[in-house]
Structure formats: structure tokens, C-alpha cells
Chain A
Amino acid sequence: MAERYVESLNRALHEMMADDERVYLIGEDVHDPYGGAFKVTRGLSTAYPNRVLGAPISEAAITGFAAGMALRGLRPVLEIMFGDFLTLAADQLVNGATKFNWMYNGRVTVPLVVRAPMGGRRGYGPTHSQSLETLFFNVPGLTILAPSHFHDPGALLRHAVLEDASPVLFVENKLLYPLRLEQPENGRAGDWHVEVVAPESPYPTLRLVADPAETPTVTLLAYGGMAPLALEAAMNALVRDEILVEVLLPSRVKPFPVADVAGFVRKSGRAVIAEESPREGGWGAEMAARLMESAFADLRAPIARVGAKETPIPASMPLEKHVLPQVADIEAALRAVARS
């Protein structure tokens, strides 16, 4: 049986700490036996007691600390317990880590990886359910990864830590942690034909479609925790209305994966972008603008965006369902775009 998303991350951390003594882990409550709020760091403090640093509850301090470690040649992996707390780390990231390489005229690099669980749908309330990677889309010098369960999250994390010389925000959607990874065999995973777009990239985009022989009617873009919902909506659209939808799942969401997806959008002529963050000013807004720039002549309909409503995420589960985008919302957008 395939390993779970969280196990893939845990295994990757074990392996990279074994392989490279520059790798350090910093975070709150990461020590065994607790092993981290979501158990991603389980076993690491036991195996590498000198390189797992428990932190006080001060995101600003530990982000600055980790940035300093990176400046001095180490490979720190910083865990921010809930992505919602990135607001406290923001100054160190935005005005510090992502700018040092430029501000010091190329004399230093900051190979810092910040891991953050994000996402709702568990009733954790307004300040523990957000997908705040959106606050950082406008920060030059920051790479943002958000692998789905069809990607290899451990492999992506390892590349970010050991190979990437600039700051990376690694987004882990909480919904994905217990899921078993879908590992395509011969380009198939269940009902899906899976294609790797640009296979030479360390952060690949995946294309999933039920029927590769036909040009899809709609291209659906989604990432991270929205992957299961996007795939369910695409399958429903096929089964209920024979609307063939291709689902594109990038693993790197900043820099924006326009080159990976533009060709597909030009062919289908119709696109829907789905994200868990609020629709207004989200990932979809930039993607839609860039796709409009590169595919305008081939678009047959305006690009549709699906996202959360413009309110905080309620703690009440039924109300949370109302605010966060559901499978039905994506399906409705697919149908509307397919008909126009």
C-alpha cells in the first residue's frame, strides 16, 4: 500500500538529515514523543537530538533565527505550526530572507525552507483554517510549493531543502496528510490518465484526464488541498454531463506556472481555476490575467474562478461548508464555462 502524504514528508526529513548534516529542524512542539502538531517530525528529535531545535512561541524570532542559519551555510527547515501564524513570521520573510541575496549584492544566499500546514474543512476556526500562501504571491524572491497527493511531497521537500538556494514556502494542506499517495503506474492512476508536464522540472505540474484521446472541453487548474475536490468535480462533470475536463495540478504555485498550463488552455479554450483561499485577489486572479495575456485569441469563454467567500472561515462546520468552495461549486463553474 502506498505511504501517506505525512509519512512521505516524515521519511524525506529523516533521509535528508541522514544525508546532509547541514539540515536542521526548527519548530514549536516538534520534539518526540509528540512529534509535531501533525506528526510530520515524528522520530527526528530522537534520531538527531542536536539538530532538532524546539522553539518558543515566537514565529518572528524563529524565522529570523532560521534565516540567520541559512545565511551562515546551514539548511534549516522551519515549521510554522499553522500557516495562519505566518503573519507573525512575515517581516522576517518579506523584508529579510527573500531580499538578502539582492540587498547584499549576491554575496549571500538564504536557502531557507518554511513548512506550514494550511487549510480548513476540519472545524478549526477562522485563525487555524486559512490558506495564507496568498499573502506572499506578491513577494519577489520567494518560491511557493504546494504539492497534492498525486505528487511526491517528500521528493519535492528534499529538493527544496537540499538543492534550492533561495527561500521556499512549503504549503502542506491538512486535508492531504492522511491520504495515501496516488502513484501513477504507466501513466494511470485509477480512472485517470496522468501526464507529467515538463518532466525535467523538479517541481512538476501534472495533467489528469479521463480520456487522453480527445481534446478536453474545459481545463481545470487547482493545487494542493483542492486536488481531491477538483478531481471529483471533473469526474462528476464527465459522468453526469459528458463534459471532458482535464485537471492540471501544479506543485509550484509561485513563480506562477503559466508556461505549463497555457498550451492546454489554448487548446481547450475554456478554463476554470479553483482555490481554497478567498476568490478575491487570489491565485486564480493572477493566473487568469496571465492566461488572458497568452491565450486571449484562443479563449472561447471568460476564465472562471472558484474560491472562498469574502468572510473569515467559521468554526461551525456547516457554516464552514458554506464559506469554503465545495465540489458542487467547481462543478457549477465547469458546466457554466462548458456551455458558454
Chain B
Amino acid sequence: MREEVFVVSVPQLGVNDDTATIVEWFVAEGDEVAVGAALCAVETAKASYEVEAEVAGRVVPLAAAGTEIRVRDPIALIGADMDALDTERRRLLAAQETETQAAAAVEAEAKATDQARRLAAELGINLTEIATDGIIREKHVRAFVEKQAPDDRPTPAEIKWNPDRKPVMIYGAGRGAVTLKECLDTDRDVQVVCFVDDDPQHPLWLKGLPVYHRDRLAEIVTRGVSYLATEIAAGVVRLRIRELCDERGLHLINAVHPRAFVSPSATLGRGNFIKAGAVVATGTVVGDCCVIDNGAIVAHDNILDDACHLTPGVSLGSGIRVGSLAIVGIGAAVATGVTIGRRAIVSPGAAVVKDVPDDAVVEGVPAKIVGRRKGE
């Protein structure tokens, strides 16, 4: 005779109910129950009711009073034979345990978007290694990879270059550096071999060339790289780099784009960057570390002092003096004979028809003083 075990489960009385709480058991394990006997009291969000025995036999409760269970889950077993009941109970509990473990595993598994998972799988990364607050996205995987990137740069001692060319390091590994390298790449006399940067978080590579921290400058110089160029935006920093070059005996070179026109009678100091489209006409004298940007027109017989910046599209007449560290804003026009003071700032589009004092900020057509330059 097959031993039958009857499973008692929580019925779904209310359409709204997904869970129920066992409030109280009226029977204990092993008790004999008759058909219709009240087994336990159960409460859902909607109602309280008693679960009754549908068959007679010995009862084995499966969940303790106070537990919240899912509707239609088993809560007790009724049968004739205690051994059969015990076996069935152990089987049910084992099944539940597996389910709970599986659910926990899913929970513990890192939450990630599908794209992040695909990228991680591609790159062989275990998602649990990525510490993120919230759901891991593709950008987190990429950031993780970048941080983990092995340092495969050559050491400065291993830098190589074409012996027919002068090896140049570019100081500063930002956007300006890329423009500068592009310009120097057109000059067959020189070869950019590496970048140097002050930022400890600098990238390891830029445009296929290694980037080194400024602390390794000595190694680079020892290797034999004695030429340096820079396009750092801040004029005072460019002047400091000039000092550095003087200290270390490095040649601070000019970079003149092949599409710029520099008159043969114009003179350039050191460390200047004359970009594509710029014009430096007859007799103009340019100091050190100036930037003459795309399309800037410097007509004849002007003087540009150290570290000034003529931004794109600026137009200078003749007989003008631009003071050291001055910045002339985009598209501004400076009339003949005007002197722009040291550290002055001319706002974009201004029309400068009168001298501008040192440290003044001017704006408008015609340009008027609107403030004073602060800081370095």
C-alpha cells in the first residue's frame, strides 16, 4: 500500500493576496486530526481565516507561527505514516533551501546593464570586482579597465628617434599639446618623442607617444632629448618652463605651422607657437613663449612681449605693442599705434582704439575698461 502524504497549502482566497502570515497553530506535530479539524489561523492583507484538514491523519506543520509565506505554498503535511511524513518534509525543506540559495545568488550577483555585462565578458572582467554604488554600466567597466591598464610605456632610457631629426619633448599633455604635435609633425627637422606633464593622473599615452610625469624629466634629458616645446594655455606657466629650460640647458623651440606666414624680416624669440592661418608681417618683433593663434593677423612693425596670447582671428594694425602676458580675445581689433599694457585682457570682439593700461580688462566697440585682471 502506497503511503500517501497530503499537502496542506494556503489557499488563495483574495485575488489581491500574494502572501499570508501564519498566526497560530492549533495542532502539534504528530497529532491525529479528523476531516474538518482546524489546523491553524492564517491572516492575509484582506482577511483572517482558519485552514481546515481536508483528510484525516497525523499532521506535521512545516512553518512556524509568525512566518510569512507565499499563498499556495505548503504549510503542513497530513498522512498515516510518520516516517513517510518526515521524508516528505525533509524533501520539501531541501527544495525550499535550494530555491532560497538560488535567489540569494541572484541577489549577490552584481547588478549590471546588458551592455556592461557584454563588455566585461569581452574584456574578461569579473563584474563583482567593480565597486559601484548602484547598477554597473558600460562607463563603469571602461573606467575600471583604464585604471587597471598595465603600464606598457618604454622607460625614458628606451626612447628612440630618427637620428636625422632633433628629438623634442612637449611639456603639457592636454588638448594644446595635440595641436602642437600636429604642427611639429610637419617639420622634418624635428621629431616629437614624448610628453611631460605635472598632473599625477596624466594619461599614460597620448597620440601614440608615452607621457611621463615631470619628475622623470632628468631621465628624459639624460637620454638625450634636449629640445622642448609647449602650448600650455597659462602664460606664466610657459615662462616657468622657459626658466626650466635655461636651468637644464634645454632648447626651447618655436613651432610655426606651414600654413602660417612669418615674414623673413620678422623675428621670433623662443618657445613661440604660430598656428595655421596666422600672419606675422614685416619687421614685427615677437618675444618668447607667445601664442599667435589660428587666423590672427599681426601687421608690420609690431612688438609682442613675452608670453602674450593673440587668440584666433585677432587683427592688429601696425606700430602696436602688446605687453607681456596680455591676452587679446577672439576676433578683437587693435588700431594702429595702440599700446596694450602688461597682463591686460581684451574681450572678444572688442575694438581697441586707445592705449590699454596694465592689468586692465577692456570690452566693447570702442573698447572701454570694465575691470581689473586678478590672480596670476
Instruction: Give the interface of A toward B (CB within 8 A).
Output: 4, 6-7, 38-39, 122-123, 174, 177-178, 191, 193, 210-211, 238-242
Contact = CB atoms under 8 A, between A and B. Distances in A.
Nearest to B135: A210
A242 B138 contact: yes
A210 B116 CA distance: 15
Contact of B16 (A122, A210, A238, A242): A122
Nearest to A192: B134
Nearest to A212: B134
A242 B45 contact: no
Interface residues of B, number: 18
A211 B15 contact: no
B111 A178 contact: no
Contacts of A177: 16, 45
Contacts of B18: 178
A1 B114 CA distance: 32
A123 B45 contact: no
Given A39-B45, A178-B18, 9 more contacts: A6-B45, A122-B15, A178-B16, A178-B19, A178-B45, A191-B135, A240-B113, A242-B113, A242-B138
Interface in B72-126: 111-116
A191 B111 contact: yes
- In this complex, the member of A7, A39, A238, A239 whose beta carbon has the largest number of chain B beta carbons within 10 angstroms is A239
Contacts of A240: 113-114
Contact of A239 (B17, B19, B46, B135): B135
A216 B205 CA distance: 32
A168 to B, nearest CB: 25
Contacts of B137: 211, 238, 242
A211 B134 CA distance: 7
A178 to B, nearest CB: 4
Given A122-B15, A178-B16, A191-B111, A238 B45 contact: no
A340 B105 CA distance: 38
Given A39-B46, A210-B135, A242-B137, A174 B114 contact: no
Contact of B135 (A122, A178, A211): A211
Contacts of B19: 178
Interface in B5-29: 15-19
A113 B135 CA distance: 41
Task: Across the A-B interface, give the 9 residue pairs with the lowest CB-CB distance, nearest first.
Answer: A178-B45, A239-B113, A242-B115, A122-B15, A242-B113, A178-B16, A240-B114, A210-B135, A210-B134
Nearest to A243: B113
A116 B265 CA distance: 90
Contacts of A238: 113, 135, 137
26 contacts: A4-B45, A6-B45, A7-B45, A39-B45, A39-B46, A122-B15, A122-B16, A178-B16, A178-B17, A178-B18, A178-B19, A178-B45, A193-B134, A210-B134, A210-B135, A211-B134, A211-B137, A238-B113, A238-B137, A239-B113, A240-B113, A240-B114, A241-B115, A242-B113, A242-B115, A242-B116
Of residues A4, A7, A39, A241, which shows the largest number of chain B Cβ atoms within 10 Å of its Cβ? Answer: A39
B72 to A, nearest CB: 15
B14 to A, nearest CB: 9
Nearest to B47: A39
Contacts of A191: 111, 134-135
Contacts of B134: 191, 193, 210-211
B212 to A, nearest CB: 32
B369 to A, nearest CB: 36
B135 A174 contact: no
A122 B17 CA distance: 11
Nearest to A175: B16
Interface centre among A7, A123, A178 (most CB of B within 10 A): A178
Contacts of A178: 16-19, 45-46
A105 B135 CA distance: 56
A169 B137 CA distance: 42
A239 B127 CA distance: 14
Nearest to B19: A178
Nearest to B115: A242
